[in-house]
């Protein structure tokens, strides 16, 4: 049930380990990486009580000196203030350029801890230990780190690849349903943008996935990581291809902002955004009606929303950051040509944006 995925990025290459029970082995993994003695382990108030002691003890047993910094759970911890506290903790702990950071938690912890590692002493190593499905299949892989500003999410950040990603599938046993299902939105995304066979296997194994069956999950998480690793290998800093990972995300970010952060989980907004992008794809990218329906059906099977109500189009449109063309009122989107193949930069007219919203957004 154990899987190993290699992210090939020259001297920044690293392994993703996927298996149940890895938390208790993380000290050994860190030792194999020949990291320095001291480390700052950043976790949040939900995850630290569940798994903090396992990771800390594993690090201690492997000969490391971990110092634990627990931040409040939730997006507000991706702030300049919390970042500044993380620096203070690192200095209090006497960390130097050979020390490292461990991120134990979901996307918020991974982004914050990764950014702290990217910038402390001009960059020290860090290890991602994602504990949510969303973090395992998306945010922990690929090196995007960062924090929010009051003006918007992820406005400050750095590309800083982890030294390893340790995905312990046992963490799913404590993951709330809504969080788990939210992560499935990104899983569906990889099928749509990169791998038709994987999409079909999700359809086939949907019940097993919903039951969180460990063997199936090992396959699913590993395949998502492979998909992401391949895109990141080809375009580490998002100068082109990597944009396909934003399939569904243009509307998702706008919905999250227009509805007020916290109302939707990220994956829920992404699911709505994918339903929207699928409909746009039918109109202008040659996606078949049948394929679009399969996408919607799979989202609904997983219990994800494929439509939204109570939001006003003009508010959503204002919040939508679209890659505007010079003239003529067309904007550019990541769209699917067919299941398994997406393309960034496809032109969509303002009229179509609103017309499709009127189907999805009621």
Left, alpha or beta for 259 (phi > 0: left; psi -120 to 50: alpha)?
A: alpha
Annotation marks residue 266 as catalytic: yes
Annotation marks residue 144 as catalytic: yes
Q: Cα separation of 329 and 350, whole Å?
A: 6
Asked if 340 and 194 touch (Cβ cutoff 8 Å), the reply is yes
User: Does 9 participate in binding a second copy (rule CB under 8 A)?
Assistant: no
The one among 155, 211, 234, 359 contacting a second copy by CB under 8 A: 155
Q: How many residues bind a second copy (CB under 8 A)?
A: 23
Q: Which residues contact 197 (CB under 8 A, 6 or more apart)?
A: 340
Residues β-bridged to residue 159: 144
DSSP codes of every residue in 77-98: GSSHHHHHHHHHHHHHTT--TT
User: Does 119 participate in binding a second copy (rule CB under 8 A)?
Assistant: yes
**Choices 84-92, 128-136, 168-176, 294-302; region in contact with a second copy by CB under 8 A:** 84-92
The one among 8, 13, 60, 80 contacting a second copy by CB under 8 A: 80
The residue from 253, 256, 268, 294 that is catalytic is 253
Give the contact letters, 33-52, x = binds to a second copy (CB under 8 A), - = no.
--------------------
Q: Minimal CA–CA distance to 129: which of 233, 8, 18?
A: 18
The nearer residue to a second copy, 150 or 310, going by C-beta atoms, is 150
Question: What SS3 class is residue 169?
Answer: helix
Annotation marks residue 321 as catalytic: no
Unique residue bearing structure tokens 């480390």: 39
Left, alpha or beta for 197 (phi > 0: left; psi -120 to 50: alpha)?
A: alpha
Asked if 109 and 101 touch (Cβ cutoff 8 Å), the reply is no
User: Does 118 participate in binding a second copy (rule CB under 8 A)?
Assistant: yes
The one among 123, 176, 329, 345 contacting a second copy by CB under 8 A: 123
User: Does 91 participate in binding a second copy (rule CB under 8 A)?
Assistant: yes
Structure tokens at 145: 């780190």
User: Does 159 participate in binding a second copy (rule CB under 8 A)?
Assistant: yes
The residue from 56, 78, 223, 242 that is catalytic is 242
User: Does 149 participate in binding a second copy (rule CB under 8 A)?
Assistant: yes
User: Does 359 participate in binding a second copy (rule CB under 8 A)?
Assistant: no
User: Does 84 participate in binding a second copy (rule CB under 8 A)?
Assistant: yes
The one among 88, 203, 207, 293 contacting a second copy by CB under 8 A: 88
Distance of CA 241 to the CA centre of its chain: 17
Q: Which residues are catalytic?
A: 122, 144, 186, 228, 238, 242, 246, 249, 253, 266
The footprint of a second copy (CB under 8 A) covers 80, 84, 87-88, 91, 118-123, 144, 146, 149, 151-152, 154-159, 237
């Amino acid at each position: 049930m154990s899987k190993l995925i290699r992210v090939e990025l020259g001297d920044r290459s690293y392994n993703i380990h996927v298996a149940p029970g890895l938390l208790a082995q993380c000290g050994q993994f860190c030792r194999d990486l020949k990291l320095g003695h001291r480390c700052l382990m950043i976790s949040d108030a939900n995850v630290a009580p569940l798994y903090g002691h396992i990771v800390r003890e594993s690090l201690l047993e492997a000969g490391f000196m971990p110092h634990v910094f627990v931040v409040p759970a939730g997006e507000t911890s991706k702030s300049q203030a919390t970042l500044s506290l993380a620096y203070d903790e690192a200095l209090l702990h006497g960390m130097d350029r050979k020390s490292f950071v461990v991120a134990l938690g979901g996307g918020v912890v991974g982004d914050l801890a990764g950014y702290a590692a990217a910038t402390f002493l001009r960059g020290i190593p860090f290890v991602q230990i994602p504990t949510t499905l969303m973090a395992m299949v998306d945010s922990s892989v690929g090196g995007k780190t960062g924090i929010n500003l009051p003006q918007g999410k992820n406005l400050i950040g750095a590309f800083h690849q982890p030294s390893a990603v340790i995905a312990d599938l046992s963490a799913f046993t404590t993951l709330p349903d809504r969080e788990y299902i939210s992560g499935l939105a990104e899983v569906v995304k990889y099928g749509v943008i990169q791998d038709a066979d994987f999409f079909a296997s999700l359809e086939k194994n949907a019940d097993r996935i919903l039951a969180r069956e460990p063997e199936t999950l090992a396959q699913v998480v590993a395949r998502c990581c492979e998909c992401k690793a391949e895109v990141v290998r080809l375009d580490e800093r998002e100068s082109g291809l990597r944009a396909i990972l934003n399939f569904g995300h243009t509307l998702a970010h706008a919905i999250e902002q227009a509805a007020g952060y916290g109302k939707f989980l990220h994956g829920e907004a992404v699911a709505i955004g994918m339903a929207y992008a699928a409909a746009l794809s039918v109109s202008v990218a040659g996606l078949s009606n049948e394929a679009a329906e399969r996408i919607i059906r799979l989202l609904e099977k997983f219990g994800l929303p494929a439509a939204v109500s109570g939001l006003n189009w003009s508010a959503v449109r204002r919040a939508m950051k679209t890659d505007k063309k010079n003239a003529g009122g067309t904007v550019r989107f990541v769209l699917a040509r067919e299941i398994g193949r997406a393309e960034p930069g496809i032109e969509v007219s303002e009229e179509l944006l609103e017309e499709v919203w009127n189907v999805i957004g009621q």
